[in-house]
């Protein structure tokens, strides 16, 4: 669990003013330990309405404080980016989407492979998703 001081520090490192609502959203993302959808965050954070949570996430995205992951299922999920500024992202990793339980997992120790783009193309972000069945669902046959 990330303490309030670390949440404030992370917000400031990304050029985001640490308001009470923003700190609550950062804490919720950190505590989740996996990418969360807007509805999951709304359910988890009862003190802020959906539009308030969405505004925080939009601001965090602009400042590269969250990764926005297309989960291969019903939409997008958000996870905290643990890089130390809004310019460089040393926190890129592979994600796994379980086609049974619909959860998205971070595979922290698997680096995203380098992609050699053709001349003229400029990479802005990478979303590397593997789909399959997670260990919990596989054991539930």
Task: Give the residue from 37, 27, 58 showing the smallest Cα distance to 103.
Answer: 37
Task: Give the residue from 74, 80, 78, 70 showing the smallest Cα distance to 23.
Answer: 80
pLDDT per residue, tens digit, the chain (141 aa), is 678 899 999 999 999 999 999 999 999 999 988 888 899 999 999 999 999 999 999 999 988 888 888 766 667 888 887 665 445 555 577 888 888 888 888 887 887 788 899 999 988 777 788 889 999 998 876
Q: Using one digit for the tens of pLDDT, what is the confidence trace for 51-77?
A: 999 999 999 998 888 888 876 666 788
SS3 label, residue 33: coil
- C-beta separation of 125 from 70 below 8 A: no
pTM greater than 0.85: no
SS3 label, residue 133: coil
Task: Give the residue from 13, 10, 51 showing the smallest Cα distance to 27.
Answer: 10
């Amino acid at each position: 669990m990330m303490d309030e001081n670390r949440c404030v520090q992370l917000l400031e490192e990304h050029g985001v003013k640490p308001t009470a609502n923003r700190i609550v959203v950062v804490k919720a993302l950190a505590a989740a330990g996996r990418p969360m959808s807007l509805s999951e965050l709304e359910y988890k954070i009862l003190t802020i309405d959906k539009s308030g949570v969405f505004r925080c996430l939009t601001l965090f995205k602009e400042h590269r404080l969250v990764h926005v992951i297309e989960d291969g299922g019903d939409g997008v999920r958000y996870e905290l980016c643990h890089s130390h500024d809004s310019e460089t992202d040393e926190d890129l990793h592979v994600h796994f989407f379980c086609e049974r339980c619909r959860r998205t997992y971070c595979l922290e120790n698997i680096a995203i492979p380098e992609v050699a783009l053709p001349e003229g193309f400029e990479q802005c972000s990478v979303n590397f998703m593997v789909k399959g069945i997670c260990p919990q669902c596989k054991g539930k046959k």
